[in-house]
Amino acid sequence: MSLLIPILNGAAQTPVDTVYHSPNGLPITRFSVPETQPVAAVLPPASARLLALKTNLLHDFLVVPRYGFAPGINLQLEYYPQKGHYSGNVGFTFSHNQRKKDFKFFQARELQLELRRYFKGNAAFVGPYVGVFGQGILYGLALDKTQGWIGEGGGGGLSAGWVWALDKKGHLKLEVSLSLGVLYSRYDPFVYGNPITETEDGLYYYDYMGNAQDFQRRNHQFFWFGPTNAGIQISYALFGRKKRP
C-alpha cells in the first residue's frame, strides 16, 4: 500500500480538491466531504398555560362552629407568566345561607389578592411556594335571636402551599395552602325583635339601648393575628398561548 502525503496547491483550496502525490510521482485527487456545522432541530411551538380556574373546597363546603354547614362559591384565577417563578392569584368567595326558623344566617363576600413565588423555576408553577396576600370581607352572622354581628374588615399577611400536577400536561392540579396574618374588622351586634319594646315584629335591630341620635355604626372593633385562611384547591388551565421552547 502506498503512503499518501497530502500536498496543497498554491491556489486557494476547498476541502474537496486536495491533491495527493504518490511515491511514484502520479498525482491522485482525493475527494472528501466537507464538515458541516450542527443544526438545531426546529420543534413546533409548545403550548403554555396562561390562566387557571380554581376553587377552594374548604370554602365551597364550609362548616361554621355553632352554625353548621354553610356552603358557598369560591372562584379564583391564577395568572402564569411565560417564564420565571412568580404568579398572581385573585379569588372571590360568595356565601348566602339562612335558616329562618332557627333565626340563623351566615353571609360573606370576600376578595383576596395574592402574589406567589414558586421555588421551581422555568414557569413550572408546581411544588412549594410562598406568597403575600391582602383581603377584604363583608359579613353577617346570626346564631340565634340575641347573637348576631354584621360588619366588614380587611387584612393581609403571608401564605404558603404546595401544588401537585394531576396529569402529564399539568392542566389539572391539586393544591393545599395556609395563610397567616392580621385581620381587622369593625362591626355592630344586632338582635331579632325590638330591644326597647321587647316585641318580635319580624325585624332585626342594632343591639343599642342609648339615644338614637348618638348612635354610630360600626362602633365595635375586632383584631386578629394568626391563621386567616386555609385551602384544599382544585385548578384547571383554561387558556394557553404559543411559545417557542
Where exactly are the structural domains of the chain? 1-34, 51-243
C-alpha grid cell for residue 195? Answer: 330591644
Residue with cell 458541516: 36
Does residue 121 or residue 15 have the better pLDDT? Answer: 121
Give Cβ neighbours of residue 39 (< 8 Å, ≥ 6 apart): none
Nearest to 176 by CA among 239, 126, 122, 137: 126
Q: What's domain 51-243's architecture?
A: Beta Barrel (2.40)
pLDDT at 48: 64
Element (H, E) at 57: helix 57-60
At 9, the pLDDT band (50, 70, 90 cuts) reads very low
**Which of 19-23, 73-77, 115-119 is least confident?**
19-23
222: phi then psi, degrees, rounded to nearest 5: -140, 135
Per-residue model confidence (pLDDT) at position 8: 43
Is the pLDDT at 173 greater than 90, yes or no? Answer: yes
Per-residue pLDDT tens digits for 191-223: 998 888 888 888 898 988 888 888 888 989 999
pLDDT band at 97 (very low <50, low <70, confident <90, very high): very high
For residue 217, how far is the Cα from the chain centroid?
36
Write out the three cell numbers for 213.
341620635
Beta bridge partners of 233: 56, 175
Range 162-182 average pLDDT: 93
Q: What is the pLDDT of residues 99-157, one digit of tens each?
A: 988 999 999 999 999 999 999 888 788 999 999 999 999 999 999 999 999 999 999 99
The cell numbers describing 208, all together, are: 343599642
All three cell numbers of 22: 504518490
Q: How far is CA 180 from CA 94, 131, 177, in A?
A: 21, 10, 10
- Neighbour count for residue 229 (Cβ, 10 Å): 23
CB count within 10 Å of CB 14 equals 8
CA distance 89 to 68: 29
